[in-house]
Structure formats: C-alpha cells, structure tokens
Amino acid sequence: MLGRRLYQAAIWFAAAVALACAAPARAADQTPITIGFGMALTGGLAPNGKAALLAMQIWQDQVNAHGGLLGRPVKLIYYDDQSNPSTVPGIYTKLLDVDHVDLAVSGYGTNMIAPAMPIMIQHKMTFLSLFGLAVNTEFHYPNYFSFVPTGGPEPKQSFAAGFFATAMAQNPKPKTLAIVGADAEFPHNAMDGARVSAKQYNLKIVYDHNYPPSTTDYTPIIRAIQATNPDLVLVCSYPPDTVGMVRAANEVGLKAKMFGGGMVGLQSTAIKAQLGPLLNGIVDYDFWLPWSKEASPDSLTFLKEYQAKATSAGVDPLGYYLPPFAYGYMQVLQQAVEGAKSLDQGKLADYLRSHTFKTVVGDVKFGANGEWSQARVLETQFRNIKGNSVDQFKNADTEVILWPSSLATGKVEYPYTKAKATN
C-alpha cells in the first residue's frame, strides 16, 4: 500500500513539475509579435499618415481576432515622425535597439523612408515600405520591398507616365515642359523620371527648378513658370506645397495645356474639400479608386469597415488613397510571416522575393530593387466640382480616370484653361 502511494505521489509530482515547466512556455507563446514603425501623425503629412495608421490598426484587430501570427498576437509599436525626416533615424534606432521589435515597416512617404534605410541596413532587417518612390535606387538593399504602384524597370518614370502619355496623345502634341518641385527626396526622384520622359517625347524643358520645403508663397514660382509659356506644367509636391501651388495657379491664371501630374495631397479628401472648384481641370496621378475596374469585392469590404471607423477616429472619411495600401502592405507582411513560418529576417526576405501576394489592391509581386514588378499608376482629371462638400467626391464624375485606357472612365478635357472654363 505504501509503495502504491509513493508511486502515485511520484506521478502527481512529475505531473506538477511538467505543468510548472509548461506554463512559462505557454506564456512565452503568447508574447506579442511586435511590429514597429514611425508614422506622420502631425505635420504636413499627417492627414494621410493618420488614415494609414487606422488601416493598420484594422489589420491588427482582424489578425488578432483570428489567432494572431504563428499562434501569437500582434502588437503595433509606433511613434510620430512629425512629417520631419530628421526624426526618422532616432525612431528606428529606438524601435530596434530599445523596443527590440520583431519586425519593422516604414511610415508613409519617400521623404520618411529614405532616412530609415541606413538604420535598417545596419541591423540587417527586412524592410517593407509604404509609398516610397524609387528609394532603393540609391541603396540597392536586397532586403527592401516597396509597396507602391510605381514600379517596373523604371520606377521614377512610372510615377508620371500617365501624365505624359495623356499629353502626347493630343493633337497637336505639346512641345514644352516646366518641371518644379521641392528640394527633397521625393520630388528629386520624380523630377529625375520626368527629365527622362521629356527626352523620350522630344519635349523641350523650359523651366526646371526646386524650391525650399519651407516655402509658403508659391505665387512667384507660378509667375516664373508662366513667363516661360510652357505647354505642360508638372508639379512634384507634398500636401502643403500642393495646396499652395494650386491656389497660386488659380490666382495667377496659369495658362498651360496640362497642369499637375505629381501632386501628392490631391488624393486626400480634406484637401479636395478645401480646394473645391480650384481643382477643376487638373490632371494628376492616383493609385486606387472605388470606381476603377480594379476595385475588388475585398477592397470594397475593407473600405466599408474603414469608413465606419473613420469619423470617430478623426481621419479621412473616404479613405480612397492611402488606407487600402496601408492595409495591403500589412497583408503582405502577414503572408510572408505565415509562408516562411518564421520571424527570421533572411527567410522573410527570401519569401518576399519569390512569391506573389494577394492584397485588397490586387496581386503584388516584387521585382528589381524590391519594386513592384509592374507599375499600376492611374492618371485622373478633376471635373464638375462645385463648392466644398465632401459627398461630391464619392461621385466618379469628379475624378475621371484617363489612363491607362483599359481602366479609363472618360477622356481628358484639354487644354487646362478650357477645362477650367467649362467647369
């Protein structure tokens, strides 16, 4: 009897030890997978940055509701980069050396991505970026992957390809071009591409200048452009200067056959509503619209959830521009982790290089320098805008898709001066 009791006690003791040892293991399994990034939550890029953050939080909540990644919950760790590139190196150093995040992705925009690159390269991290134009042409980092519809073999040219294609389809063809943009990373890359396109189309560049990012009065710039009498005016700008350039063009009465092309900010609902009819006639890029033939049921489902939360979150109420892509690049990260079955940076990069990813903005495959293997940029024209109501921008007639022809919802009203007069 005593032997049996000793035997049972030994079994119970062994079971207790096993449970005690297993408990920390189970707890460790539930340690969140941390994903770190900087994001523009204040400053000029904040309207887009805050909308992107909401989309990423929607992804986080959905993933956690379905069991997380690799059986662990995910947690976003982020800091406000204040729309200021100088803050970015410190943010990513803290994320990697102090917070010890498992994964790091970029914030929004070329100017914020480029300063993070040396930190990510030093730490040998795989880096998935959001809306960076040809950032890796300076670094050639093999573990960089860009989530933006510019891409293909010539990402710098792809950004304004639709602007030039639309212009050169007119009869008579335009002959002269003015290029202008801020003295910063994104405009420099976009303007580099425009110069190549100008040579390709035998366009004479009559104005080619950068202005300081701190510029507040754009009227002298538009007057200087007007003095060169260009057929085409390509503006490569971020939201604050985009607003300034549009207002100045209307004030001066810019006479050009096409105006716009590379204006970041005109995709933001708040800026659209602010500028209202001043937008009429402008031809500009866009990446995704719910009335495009490329809009999938999944993308519209995401958009519905985003819009339901946008008002209370105080962000872009329509969310056509950045939110689908912010959600999409997190989908790519999720599929890479699940496909590689690992958080190992090298394995993740190998998986990203070798697979096609299903996202709400379509299938994505990465090519040279981590760019999309094929570019998918839209060119659109603002028309029929009256007053400053937000609701009108839900109407496809206010932003007509011009290019590519396979997705077009209308033809360009040309020239710009005539388009403005008929709106």
pLDDT in tens, 357-383: 999 999 999 999 999 999 999 999 999
- Hey, is 108 helix, strand or coil? strand
**Can you tell me the mean pLDDT for 89-106?**
98
- For residue 240, give the DSSP letter: H
What is the per-residue pLDDT across 301-331, written as a single tens digit (0 to 9) for each? 999 999 999 999 999 999 999 999 999 999 9
In the numeric block, the tokens 């496809």 are attached to 396
What is the per-residue pLDDT across 245-293, written as a single tens digit (0 to 9) for each? 999 999 999 999 999 999 999 999 999 999 999 999 999 999 999 999 9
Q: Is the pLDDT at 408 greater than 80, yes or no?
A: yes
Instruction: Write out the residue limits of the CATH 3.40.50.2300 domain(s) in the chain.
Output: 33-149+295-370, 156-286+383-421
pTM here is: 0.91
- For residue 102, give the DSSP letter: S
User: What was the pLDDT predicted at 29?
Assistant: 66
**Can you tell me the mean pLDDT for 211-226?**
97
In the numeric block, the tokens 């803290």 are attached to 94
> Which amino acid is present at 17?
V
User: What was the pLDDT predicted at 421?
Assistant: 82
CATH H-level superfamily of 33-149+295-370: Response regulator (3.40.50.2300)
Sequence-separated (6 or more) residues with CB below 8 Å from residue 54: 306, 309, 310, 313, 315, 323
How high is the mean pLDDT of the chain? 93
Give dist(CA 145, CA 262) in Å, integer: 22
Give the model's confidence band at 407: pLDDT under 50 very low, under 70 low, under 90 confident, else very high. Answer: very high
Residues 259, 231 contacting (CB under 8 angstroms): no
Q: Is the pLDDT at 332 greater than 70, yes or no?
A: yes
Give dist(CA 133, CA 186) in Å, integer: 6
Give the dihedral sign, CA 195/196/198/204: positive
- For residue 136, give the DSSP letter: G
User: What was the pLDDT predicted at 15?
Assistant: 43
What is the per-residue pLDDT across 16-75, written as a single tens digit (0 to 9) for each? 444 444 444 444 568 999 999 999 999 999 999 999 999 999 999 999 999 999 999 999
What is the per-residue pLDDT across 27-44, written as a single tens digit (0 to 9) for each? 456 899 999 999 999 999
Q: Is the pLDDT at 7 greater than 90, yes or no?
A: no
156-286+383-421 is classed CATH 2.60.40.10: no
Q: Which of 228, 173, 165 is nearest to 197 (CA)?
A: 165
Q: Is the pLDDT at 123 greater than 70, yes or no?
A: yes
What is the per-residue pLDDT across 335-345, written as a single tens digit (0 to 9) for each? 999 999 999 99
Residues 233, 206 contacting (CB under 8 angstroms): no
